[in-house]
A and B are shown apart, each in its own frame.
Chain A
Amino acid sequence: DTAVSQTPKYLVTQMGNDKSIKCEQNLGHDTMYWYKQDSKKFLKIMFSYNNKELIINETVPNRFSPKSPDKAHLNLHINSLELGDSAVYFCASSPLFPGNTEAFFGQGTRLTVV
């Protein structure tokens, strides 16, 4: 059973379109994240949610809107896609309490905007 799963794994779309990426975790974690990995492989936090509440919004354009219907799901909707949005988007989750734990990552969604 996949701990953190994202769909789709690949997404090719035209500029100006709106698209969504879905993420689900079955680990019972309280916190979920979206990270973006650019073409140079640099990974950066975009958002974090804690029990459906937005905690971190790291200067992301407001064309990106995360939604967390429950603590096991965190979706990412992107409006008016631009060429610069092409990247790999990773969903991750971790437990709420600080401790000897790491973030568990999904397999990533490679978004290509043409």
Chain B
Amino acid sequence: AQTVTQSQPEMSVQEAETVTLSCTYDTSESDYYLFWYKQPPSRQMILVIRQEAYKQQNATENRFSVNFQKAAKSFSLKISDSQLGDAAMYFCAYRSLTQGGSEKLVFGKGTKLTVNP
């Protein structure tokens, strides 16, 4: 079974600075997807960024980018120019492609990000 590990329960960053959240995963599969989800105090789960395992190029979405190291099974999230609205729980998630179309998300335990003004 796949597992996802987020080793940083909490992180903090100053507004306008850059922060990196860590994620490692364990799988024997070669094809899969990786995601970062954001959960603000409103509780809503919001997709931040996705990465297909077969793509070598790291995904970017505006101020958010990932460092995907497939051999090391590492998938870190970098937030540049941090804003107060980035404060939230961040979850790394793995999604298999080999479950007949009903792929489930396997989540890490989350990292609580605080942004200081």
A residues neighboring B (CB under 8 Å): 30-31, 33, 35, 40-45, 48-50, 55-56, 58, 88, 90, 92, 94, 96-98, 100, 102-103, 105, 107-108, 110
Contact = CB atoms under 8 A, between A and B. Distances in A.
A42 B50 contact: no
Contacts of B100: 50, 55
A90 B52 CA distance: 24
Given A31-B102, A41-B109, A48-B102, 12 more contacts: A41-B39, A41-B89, A42-B109, A44-B107, A45-B104, A45-B105, A55-B99, A98-B97, A98-B103, A100-B50, A102-B35, A108-B45
Contact of A105 (B44, B52, B104): B44
Nearest to B48: A102
B102 A105 contact: no
Interface string B32-43: 010100010011
B117 interface: no
Contacts of B97: 98
B52 A100 contact: yes
Chain B interface residue number, banded: 20 to 34
Please provide the 9 A-B residue pairs with the shortest distance between their CB atoms, ordered closest to farther. Answer: A105-B45, A55-B102, A43-B107, A45-B104, A96-B101, A48-B102, A102-B47, A108-B43, A98-B97
